[in-house]
Amino acid sequence: MVQFNADTREIAVKVVYYGPALSGKTTNLQALFRKIDPKVRGRLMTLDTKDDRTLFFDMMPVFFRTKAGVKVKLKLYTVPGQVMHESTRRIVLQGTDAVAFVADSRRSEAAPTLAYWNNMLKNLEANGLDYRTLPIVIQMNKRDLDDARGEGELGDLLRVIQPPIVPAVAIRGEGVVETLHAVLQRCYRSLDRHFGLEEQWQIPEREFLGQILSHVDLRGARLPAEAGAR
Amino acid sequence: MSLPPSFLQQKLPLGDLLDVRAFGEVCHSFAELYRIGLKVFDEAGNKLVDVKVGNADFCGYVWSKPPGREQCIATVGRVKGEDVGEEPRATRVVCFSGCEYVVQPILYEGDVLGRVVFGPFVPEELVELPAPLRAIAPGDDAKKVEAFQARIRRVRPEAAEKILKHFMDLLDVMVFSGHKNLIAAKLHIEAVTESYRELQEKNRQLEDSYAKLKELDRLKSNFLATMSHELRTPLTSVIGYSEMMLEGLGGPLTSEQREYLGIIMEKGENLLQLITSILDISKIEAGRVRLVLSEVDATQLMRDAVATVLPLARKKGLKVSCEPAQLPRVQADRDKLRQCLVNLCSNAVKFTPAGGTINVSSEALPGDRVAIHVTDTGIGIGEEHLPKVFDVFYQVDGSSTREYGGAGLGLAIVKSFVEAHGGEVTVRSTLGQGTTFALVLPREPSAVLALTPIAAPTPFVGRTG
């Protein structure tokens, strides 16, 4: 749940990267860490990895102050993908404002991906979050692999699920900024609807996204024309 | 269901992110190295660390003079409270005494967690005591104060800022690792707690469904007992009237009619036996069995059982022998013990192919016990099935096309009855070679009778009772 502090004029927003084991959640955060200006982000905290697998989660803070003087603190989390860390996933998901679901595009991974999607819906429910109203973006990662689902198949998928799909090759940094942009845009709109970011806090969408994206290395990123404007 | 709030949602004070004692040691060593004092405050203004280097006498003197004390308090107020912004930059704070401090906010993840106050030091360019200080230290005191001030390090303020920046870099790493350790430890606990909560929830559900299943099982046993009884009543009439017709009470019969009636009677008897078994087992399961104990001659019962199965065994071409030993009489329920032996013997006949032999023998065991063995040269039982053969409705071959019929109740009944006597039944078998069931009974069932009902048996509900 987004935290507003009217006294200190602060807003804390939480975004969670969820997805099956080895789908590339940590890789997404690592790519963003490289692309985001250190002035507006903290260190990438990777908690207890063993054999390059996330045991608890990764976390990276991004922060900026709006023209109206509101401090926006955005925390990006990943969940541990391995099945046994179910309770940790549930805890990390607590109070999230938006979710980027990182899926492995390969056909062979379709079944586990669906299982994790359902698992996420269950864990959202356990946290009192409604997947029908929560901003969710799906990243179809590993588009470069041979077995990846084709465009047509993604189109079919779009017909049955609500969230938008962003293609990506996170390991090469492709699609990660687009995913962040898509998830933040949806997140902004949802928060604006519920808490009046523009009315009450004088933060228009353009500034919210622009403040972050103006500190991101956008080379190679394909974003809507207005995004990234300072 | 909703989870308790995670600490991930909370903002943590500086003191929680650092091991304050270890951090204090680092600060001491750092301050010693540069010979400049160091103070660290958290966001709420609590002093976490205070290292004084060289300024004790000087500040002590200033503090001893009321005007000095007043101005000292003002300086302390400024280093603690002055707005130093939210940028990683040092702010210079000059004391009336000519000494200086550099102050910098501790920034972490965009938040201000507190501030570091580095000083006092004497700026390199200061050549003489400033006027306000001279005003409180007149005459000879001036020399003393100068001497005190000489113990405070002289340094260019730019250099002090550089040293402070270096300290802030160190502090940033310490806060980051402290935060990381704290999160790892706390999340570990939260994850374990959450897993435990989930397990408990699942256990509770399992217990619920177990209780429900047990209740259903009890209802099933009741139903079986009632139904078996209801089935038996009309069947008795079928058998009885067939018998009457066979005896010619309904008039003369043709030989074909006799044959058919014979078949009706035989099958009726089979059916009756089956229903009786079901009734027995449901009584056992409902805890309604009552033993009627009397002095029983086991040898006689063995002969009875053999006699019962003999016709069928002959028909199958089996040799049946009975080798009773000299046995004392035992205290037992005659009917139930006979049924046990008949069940074991019938099984032996059923599972032994033509040409095989069946042997029923007995022996007296030490400890006032007797054993009866029923041995066959039949098809045997695979090792994996041995532990289950006494389970209700268990069939080694449970398929619908199995070669050997039966309801899977015989051995379950044997086991229950024998155990009700305080005895035990065991089995040894080799696949393809044969099976031996051993029935061991105490001569006198002592503190036994698990199956003896505590309450009186519930009467059956039915038309004929």
CA distance B65 to chain A (A): 40
pLDDT at position A225 over 80: no
Local confidence band at A205 (pLDDT 50, 70, 90 cut-offs): very high
Q: What is the pLDDT of residue B405?
A: 64
Residue B187 distance to chain A (closest CA, Å): 8
pLDDT tier, A117 (very low <50, low <70, confident <90, very high otherwise): very high
| Cβ within 8 Å, pair A73-B190 | no
Tell me what percent of the residues of chain B surpass a pLDDT of 90. 38
- pLDDT tens readout for residues B335-359: 888 888 888 898 899 889 988 999 9
> What are the extents of the domains in chain A?
3-213
Q: Is A45 on the interface with B (CB under 8 A)?
A: yes
State the Cα–Cα distance between residues B113 and B273, nearest whole angstrom: 86
The token pair at A132 is: 């029908």
Contacts with A, B 186-225, CB within 8 Å = 187-188, 190-192, 194-195, 198
Which tens digit of pLDDT belongs to each residue from B114-131? 999 998 999 999 888 898
Place of tokens 């001279």: B134
Q: Which CATH fold would you assign to the domain B289-442?
A: Heat Shock Protein 90 (3.30.565)
Q: What b-and-e string marks burial along B402-429, b requiring 16 or more CB atoms within 10 Å of the CB? A: eeeebebbbbbbbbbbbbbbbbebebeb
How does residue B399 score in pLDDT terms, banded at 50, 70 and 90? Answer: low
pLDDT at B140 over 80: yes
With 60 as the cut, is the pLDDT of residue A192 above it?
yes
Q: What DSSP line would sit under A128-160, residue for residue?
A: T--TTTS-EEEEEE-TTSTTBPPHHHHHHHHHH
Tell me if chain B has a CB within 8 Å of the CB of A127. Answer: yes
Please calculate the CA angle B461-B416-B384 and round it to the nearest 5 degrees. Answer: 125
Segment B416-427 shows an average pLDDT of: 87
Q: For residue A200, what are the CA distances in angstroms to A135, A206, B155?
A: 21, 16, 49
CB A128 to CB B2 under 8 A? yes
pLDDT at residue number B174? 94
- HEC per residue, chain B: CCCCCCHHHCCCCHHHHCCHHHHHHHHHHHHHHHCCCEEEEECCCCEEEEECCCCHHHHHHHHHCHHHHHHHHHHHHHHHHCCCCCCCCCEEEECCCCCEEEEEEEEECCEEEEEEEEEEEEECCCCCCCHHHHHHCCCCHHHHHHHHHHCCCEECHHHHHHHHHHHHHHHHHHHHHHHHHHHHHHHHHHHHHHHHHHHHHHHHHHHHHHHHHHHHHHHHHHHHHHHHHHHHHHHHHHHHHHHHHHCCCCCCCCHHHHHHHHHHHHHHHHHHHHHHHHHHHHHHHCCCCCCCEEEECHHHHHHHHHHHHHHHHHHHCCEEEEECCCCCCEEEEHHHHHHHHHHHHHHHHHCCCCCCEEEEEEEEECCCEEEEEEEECCCCCCCCCHHHCCCCCCCCCCCCCCCCCCCCCHHHHHHHHHHHCCCEEEEEEECCCEEEEEEEEECCCCCCCCCCCCCCCCCCCCCCC
Instruction: Categorize the per-residue pLDDT at A103 as very low, low, confident or very high, splitting at 50, 70 and 90.
Output: very high
Report the Cα A221 to chain-centroid distance in Å.
16
Handedness of CA B364, B368, B374, B377 (dihedral sign): negative
More confident of the two residues B399 and B104: B104
Judge whether residue B209 has pLDDT over 70: yes
Of A86, A88, A127, the CB nearest to B187: A88
Q: Binning pLDDT at 50, 70 and 90, where does residue B465 land? A: very low
Judged by DSSP in three states, A98 sits in strand
Check residue B336 and give left, alpha or beta (phi > 0: left; psi -120 to 50: alpha). Answer: alpha
Q: Which of B116, B37, B129, B32 is nearest to B79 (CA)?
A: B116
How far is it, in rounded angstroms, from Cα B404 to Cα B394?
A: 13
Mean pLDDT of chain B: 86
Distance CA A144, CA A136 (A): 23
**A4 CB near a chain B CB, below 8 Å?**
no
ipTM computed for the complex? 0.85
Of these ranges, B36-40, B132-136, B324-328, the one predicted with the greatest mean pLDDT is B36-40
Nearest to B61 by CA among B142, B157, B156: B142
Q: B92 to chain A, minimum CA–CA distance in Å?
A: 23
The answer, yes or no, to whether residue B328 has pLDDT greater than 60, is yes
Contacts of A144 (CB under 8 A, 6+ apart): A169, A172
pLDDT at res. B225: 76
> Given a cut of 80, is residue A227 above it in pLDDT?
no
- Best mutation site among A43, A60, A78, A85 for testing chain B: the one with the most B CBs within 10 Å? A43
Who has greater pLDDT, B461 or A13? A13
Question: In CATH, what is the architecture of B206-282?
Answer: Orthogonal Bundle (1.10)
Residue B176 contacts A where some CB pair is shorter than 8 Å: yes
Instruction: Give the fold, CATH level 3, of A3-213.
Output: Rossmann fold (3.40.50)
**Counting every residue, how long is chain B?**
465
- Residue B284 pLDDT > 80: no
CB neighbourhood size of B54 (10 A)? 20
Mean pLDDT of A201-217: 91
Radius of gyration of chain A (CA): 17
User: Which are the contacts of A28, defined by CB distance < 8 A and separation ≥ 6?
Assistant: A17, A78, A100, A102, A139, A141, A168, A170, A176, A179
Rounded CA separation A137/B423 (Å): 69
The confidence band for B416, taking pLDDT boundaries of 50, 70 and 90, is confident
**What average pLDDT does chain A have?**
89
* CATH class of this structure's domain B10-155: alpha beta
Is the pLDDT at A178 greater than 90? The verdict is: yes
Q: Which two tokens stand for residue B210?
A: 């177990």
Highest mean pLDDT among A148-157, A201-210, B228-237, B322-331: A201-210
At A228 the pLDDT is: 47
Q: What angle do CA B21, A42, A175 make, to 5 degrees?
A: 150
Name the pLDDT band for B1 (thresholds 50, 70, 90): very low
Query: Touching check for A158 and chain B: CB below 8 Å?
Result: no
Check residue A79 and give its pLDDT.
Answer: 92
For residues B228 and B453, give the distance between their C-alpha atoms in angstroms, rounded to a whole number.
20
Identity of the amino acid at A78: T
Of B61-75, B276-290, B297-311, which one has max mean pLDDT? B61-75
